[in-house]
């Protein structure tokens, strides 16, 4: 028999993001530091949205427009609540009191400085509430628990969480650590939070004190386990680098399981949004910045650096290329070594094999761009476009002074400086005419050797 349908409880997420994080030694608020090209706050907001949070509240330092803009970008529906004074994690949660007044909701508290928690873990943390728990805490075992709050238990019962600063030596020996995140049933959240005091070593209102208060009320408290690596908090730049490494490992693994070959995965750096298709081969030492999509069958050779770039199927690039500012290569296009593209579009099968800068440029299908070609797109004030038609041939070491158009099938002679449009199927040559003087070098050499002899051979 199927149980009677109860309306699913909605999920509210409160993300704590106030404070600079002094140990970061930065002008930037801690939660705006980036991991795999996305802010820590962005990672957390993405995870709570993926976990199905219908309502999201972010507690932030007042007046931080950079934080507000990031919240608007990553979670447009989220409400922002200012916490004027940083008086502790429980005080911060109460800054979002307005979203706690719905007793039928489940509430999860996330930290803006704990960016590796997955959507799945938020769902596991919430799950005990459906079975009647008032509080669920996320905890991990660590051989090196220094700095974390300790989860104090008696048998299988949770008693309290003790912050490091307040812990006795015996409590400090406990290795079960509080990951910081918590789920609270909407029914009890406000009452529990309202009772938390600040009588402790830091003089702060500690969110983890909700555990002892719930236990004293006879309410059920559950510990939900998580891996230490996933619970990694970021309080300084060393921990930031550890979190970065963890996310890189995840991204590389999912790229490889998705059908891309990373020959030396530990040397390839991906962004949170990098998409690599099937049978993509990435050679060692490649950096993918934000906004890169690589379609099936592409080869990215060693030492490439890509941001904001689309490679359509079977494109081959590198080694040593730099693509940025909305670069698009259509099917079968090729770039060789030392080529840079910025805001440039190459049609199917177009090629630039060596030493080239193409900026603000449109390159038609199967055009061939010779070695050393430069689009002179900037006049010191404005940027201008270069259009190169399908099948055009640009001879080596040419400068194309934009705005300029080279028509379909046209030729540009090597070493030209092209300032005027070249019609389709025409040839343009724009360089000094060659002069040849027979015997000149031989006579010159003889004269120079005679001069040297007069000077005694020096
Ligand atoms: C917290 C937990 C600790 C846990 C650890 C896990 C408390 C009191 N301690 O310690 O048990 O082991 O996380 O990483 O909760 N914040 C505010 N306003 C405040 C205080 C904090 O918004 O007034 C935010 C911070 O921006 C941060 C998060 O809450 O994102 C955690 O604060 P933090 O000071 O880093 O707590 P920890 O000392 O790491
Ligand atoms: Ca922290």
CATH number of the domain bearing residue 355: 2.160.10.10
- C-beta separation of 183 from 128 below 8 A: yes
Question: Which residues are tagged catalytic?
Answer: 354
In a domain, 439, yes or no: no
CATH of the domain at 107: 3.90.550.10
pLDDT class for 127, splitting at 50, 70, 90?
A: very high
pLDDT surpasses 90 at 19? no
Report which bound ligand comes closest to the CA of 177: 1
Does an H or E element contain 178, and which?
A: strand 176-185
Which pLDDT does position 16 carry in this prediction? 98
Straight-line distance from the first to the last Cα atom of the chain, in angstroms, rounded to the nearest whole number: 108
Atom of ligand 1 nearest to the CA of 233: 14
In a domain, 292, yes or no: yes
Q: Report which of 281, 245, 276, 277 is spatially closest to residue 263, judged by C-alpha positions.
A: 281
Whether the pTM exceeds 0.75: the reply is yes
Query: Ligand 1 in contact with 29 (CB < 6 A)?
Result: no
Q: Which two tokens stand for residue 267?
A: 């040397």
- The CA 20 to ligand 2 mean position distance, Å, reads 11
Indicate if 293 and 185 belong to the same structural domain.
no
Indicate if 203 and 348 belong to the same structural domain.
no
Phi, psi (deg, nearest 5) at residue 235: -115, -15
Which pLDDT does position 2 carry in this prediction? 62
222-278 tens-digit pLDDT = 999 999 999 999 999 999 999 999 999 999 999 999 999 999 999 999 999 999 999
Residue by residue, DSSP assigns 332-378 as T-EEEEEEEEEEEEE-TT-EEEEEEEEEEEEE-TT-EE-TT-EEE-B
Indicate if 279 and 203 belong to the same structural domain.
no
**Most ligand 1 atoms within 8 A of CB, residue of 57, 233, 240 to mutate:** 233
Exposed/middle/buried for residue 26 (C-beta within 10 Å: 0-12, 13-18, 19+): middle
20-36 tens-digit pLDDT = 889 999 999 999 999 99
> Which of 225, 240, 268 lies at the terminal end of a domain, its last residue?
225
Sign of the dihedral through C-alpha 441, 442, 443, 447: positive
pLDDT class for 7, splitting at 50, 70, 90?
A: low
Q: Which two tokens stand for residue 155?
A: 């048998």
82 is in which domain, residue-wise? 11-225
- The CA 180 to ligand 1 mean position distance, Å, reads 7
Sign of the dihedral through C-alpha 206, 209, 211, 213: negative
Residue nearest to atom 14 of ligand 1 (CA): 233
Q: Which residues contact 29 (CB under 8 A, 6 or more apart)?
A: 17, 19, 20, 21, 61, 64, 66, 67
pLDDT surpasses 90 at 282? yes
Which pLDDT does position 221 carry in this prediction? 98
Residue nearest to atom 24 of ligand 1 (CA): 16
In a domain, 287, yes or no: yes
Does an H or E element contain 130, and which?
A: helix 119-130
- The CA 201 to ligand 2 mean position distance, Å, reads 17
Q: Is the peptide bond before 442 cis (omega within 30 degrees of 0)?
A: no
Indicate if 188 and 258 belong to the same structural domain.
no
Q: Give how far Cα 311 sits from Cα of 308, 326, 329, 333, Å.
A: 10, 11, 5, 9
pLDDT surpasses 90 at 458? no
In a domain, 457, yes or no: no
428-444 tens-digit pLDDT = 999 999 999 999 999 99
Which pLDDT does position 145 carry in this prediction? 95
- The CA 254 to ligand 2 mean position distance, Å, reads 28
CA–CA dist 359, 206 (Å, integer) = 54
Report which bound ligand comes closest to the CA of 18: 1
Which pLDDT does position 3 carry in this prediction? 62
Which pLDDT does position 168 carry in this prediction? 97
pLDDT surpasses 80 at 1? no
pLDDT surpasses 80 at 8? no
**Most ligand 1 atoms within 8 A of CB, residue of 32, 80, 111 to mutate:** 111
| Number of domains within the chain | 2
Indicate if 330 and 278 belong to the same structural domain.
yes
76-116 tens-digit pLDDT = 999 999 999 999 999 999 999 999 998 899 999 999 999 99
What mean pLDDT is predicted for residues 326-331? 98
In a domain, 241, yes or no: no
Q: Give how far Cα 68 sits from Cα of 12, 39, 74, 171, Å.
A: 19, 13, 10, 39
368-411 tens-digit pLDDT = 999 999 999 999 999 999 999 999 999 999 999 999 999 999 99
Indicate if 35 and 107 belong to the same structural domain.
yes
CA–CA dist 424, 406 (Å, integer) = 7
Q: Report which of 106, 115, 118, 102 is spatially closest to residue 16, judged by C-alpha positions.
A: 115
Indicate if 166 and 271 belong to the same structural domain.
no
Residue nearest to atom 2 of ligand 1 (CA): 180
Indicate if 410 and 341 belong to the same structural domain.
yes
Q: What is the mean pLDDT of the chain?
A: 97
Residue by residue, DSSP assigns 242-287 as HHHHHHHHHHHHHHHHTT-EESSGGGEE--TT-EE-TT-EE-SSEE
296-310 tens-digit pLDDT = 999 999 999 999 999
């Amino acid at each position: 028999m199927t149980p009677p349908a109860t309306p699913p409880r909605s999920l509210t997420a409160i993300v704590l993001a106030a404070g600079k994080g002094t140990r970061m030694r930065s002008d930037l608020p801690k939660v705006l530091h980036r991991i795999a090209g996305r802010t820590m706050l962005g990672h957390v907001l993405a995870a709570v949205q993926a976990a199905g949070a219908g309502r999201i509240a972010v507690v932030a330092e007042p007046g931080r427009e950079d934080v507000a803009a990031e919240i608007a970008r990553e979670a447009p529906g989220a409400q922002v609540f200012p916490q004027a004074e940083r008086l502790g994690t429980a005080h911060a949660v109460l800054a979002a009191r307005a979203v706690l007044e719905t007793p039928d909701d489940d509430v999860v508290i996330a930290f803006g400085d704990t960016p590796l928690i997955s959507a799945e873990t938020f769902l596991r943390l919430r799950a005990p509430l459906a079975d009647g728990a008032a509080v669920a805490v996320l905890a991990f075992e660590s051989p090196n628990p220094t700095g974390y709050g300790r989860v104090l238990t008696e048998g299988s019962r949770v008693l309290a969480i003790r912050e490091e600063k307040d812990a006795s030596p015996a409590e400090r020996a406990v290795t079960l650590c509080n990951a910081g995140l918590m789920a609270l049933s909407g029914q009890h959240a406000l009452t529990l939070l309202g009772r938390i005091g600040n009588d402790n070593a830091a003089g702060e209102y500690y969110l983890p004190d909700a555990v002892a208060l719930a236990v004293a009320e006879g309410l059920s408290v559950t510990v939900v386990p998580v891996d230490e690596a996933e619970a990694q908090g970021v309080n300084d730049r060393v921990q930031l680098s550890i979190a970065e490494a963890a996310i890189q490992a995840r991204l590389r693994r999912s790229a490889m399981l998705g059908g891309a070959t990373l020959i030396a995965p530990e040397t390839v750096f991906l962004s949170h949004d990098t998409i690599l298709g099937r049978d993509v081969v990435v050679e060692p030492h490649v950096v993918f910045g934000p906004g890169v999509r690589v379609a099936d069958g592409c080869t990215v050779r060693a030492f490439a650096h890509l941001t904001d770039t689309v490679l359509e199927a079977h494109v081959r690039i590198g080694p040593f290329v730099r693509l940025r500012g909305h670069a698009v290569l259509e099917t079968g296009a090729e770039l060789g070594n030392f080529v840079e593209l910025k805001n440039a579009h190459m049609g199917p099968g177009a090629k630039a094999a060596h030493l080239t800068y193409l900026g603000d440029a449109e390159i038609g299908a199967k055009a061939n761009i010779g070695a050393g070609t430069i689009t002179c797109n900037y006049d010191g004030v404005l940027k201008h476009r270069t259009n190169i038609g399908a099948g055009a041939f640009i001879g080596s070491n040419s400068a194309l002074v934009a705005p300029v158009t080279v028509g379909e099938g046209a030729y540009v002679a090597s070493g030209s400086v092209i300032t005027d449009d070249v019609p389709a199927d025409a040839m343009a040559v724009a360089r000094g005419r060659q002069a040849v003087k027979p015997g000149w070098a031989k006579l010159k050499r003889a004269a120079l050797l005679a001069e040297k002899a007069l000077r005694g051979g020096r």
